[in-house]
Amino acid sequence: MAEQPQLNSIRDWIGGGWLLFLLPLPLIPALFVSLLKGAILPALATLAAIALFVLAGISTRYGLVRERDYERKRFATAPRFKLKLFGGLLTAAGTLVCARFLVDEGWVFSLFTGALSMAGHWLSYGLDPVKDKSSAPGNSGYTTQQVVDALREAAEKIEGIRNAARDMKNLELRGRLIRISESAMKIVDAIEEDPRDLRRARKFLNVYLDGAHKVANGYAKTHTHTQSEELESNFRNVLVSIETVFSEQHKKLLENDVLDLDVQIEVLDTQLKHEGVV
């Protein structure tokens, strides 16, 4: 999988959403005071404000993570649910509740302070991405969403292969799986660089990468319970075939050449059916 998003802007370092979690702290003593006095309405209003500020912090944090992930990728769809906007609205609602029910200000002033807090949230954390990001040429034949879905699915399978490798006790087999995952990631990067490669690599992703993922996880689940030299040999043979084709596919994509994988796919299908490694 891709690396986790990193803090990469002054806005992130200043707050990153964490400052919003400080807002309800002064309200906690007020909540206990209201409860001790038996003031139910102020206690409920204080509890509601605390909940709104905490939810605002959570929503904003997730929104910032999504934004960094969006900025890092060459292809990305804009988030459909605007988490930072939702965080701003929650912050405004919490401020309004504090002004109206805890400070006992009028509705006009309370709405005004809520709007100011919304503006402050926007100035601190910005707005959510609104446009899909794509460098796909017009003749790629795929929409941004299709490219994003294909890359995400491939990345999930690659991560599955890496997880299977971590469970392998045989260092040789573990090394082969790691090399396969690295070659697969290079192919995914090539597709991201030029989405026209997706059409040529589609069969590769659907058959070879899927086959590698199933074989690796199938063997990882069974080899700890069954020690068989024949099973290990069969698994090694399949990995050698997959590793060779992965390397060849990446080379062809870099050469911008069309690679017909029908014959190799039939060979892999036969191996998967007869080697008994799944």
Number of folded domains that form the chain: 2
Same domain, 195 and 261: yes
Same domain, 28 and 155: no
**For residues 52 and 215, what is the distance between their CA atoms, to the nearest angstrom?**
48
Q: Which spans in 73-209 are helix H? A: 83-97, 107-125, 144-166, 171-193, 197-203
Residue 131: inside a domain: no
> What tens digit of pLDDT does each residue of 207-255 get?
778 888 888 888 777 765 556 677 778 888 888 888 887 777 767 666 6
Could you tell me the pTM of the whole model?
0.58
Note down the domain range covering 74. 10-125
Same domain, 165 and 251: yes
Same domain, 206 and 116: no
Q: Among 125, 148, 171, where does a domain finish?
A: 125
Same domain, 268 and 239: yes
Same domain, 107 and 143: no
**For residues 137 and 120, what is the distance between their CA atoms, to the nearest angstrom?**
39
> What tens digit of pLDDT does each residue of 48-66 get?
999 999 999 999 999 998 8
Residue 133: inside a domain: no
Residue 136, sorted as left (phi over 0), alpha (psi -120 to 50) or beta, turns out to be: beta
